Structure 1
Amino acid sequence: MGFKKIKNFKTLQLDDGYEIKDLSFDQSGTYLAVGGTDIRVYVCKQWQELKVFNDHTAMATGVRFGRNAQFIASTSMDRTLKLYSV
């Protein structure tokens, strides 16, 4: 697994009370996935929210991008694994 140096990393402000359990950048550093109350995907360059997924019935505990950021896998306290198309 390689590492990518992040330059000009800016602060991303989420809603008050949003509890982050996990976050993950895609392999290119273009997208950031945040797991917590829901799953959120951001475009890093503008910190623009791209998608929100609310399919879990409990707190999301893990998020990971698939190959070439084509999908996101998430796990949850509801004991499910979900796959989302990006």
Structure 2
Amino acid sequence: MAKHTPTATATVVALTPARVSSVAAARYLGYEPQTLVNWRNLGKGPRFVRDGKPGSRVFYRVADLDAWLEEQAARSSAAV
């Protein structure tokens, strides 16, 4: 019986979007979308980018969300 040898290998790449909508960012962080709106107005929360001029759609870069989450990590209960 002939032995089967593969001629090519398949590579699977999982892509994460570079940026997500405000609603998706809120879901990712575990907050309500309005919370992110409030934080933006107060100059708090994760960094965000606008899709054009002021008043246009808001997006969050996944890397910025992850960095913000890391900054929020408490090292002890005294830090909370």
TM-score (norm 1): 0.26
**Which fold has the larger relative contact order, with Cα–Cα distance below 8 Å and residues 6 or more apart in sequence?**
2
The structure having more radius of gyration, on CA atoms, is: 2
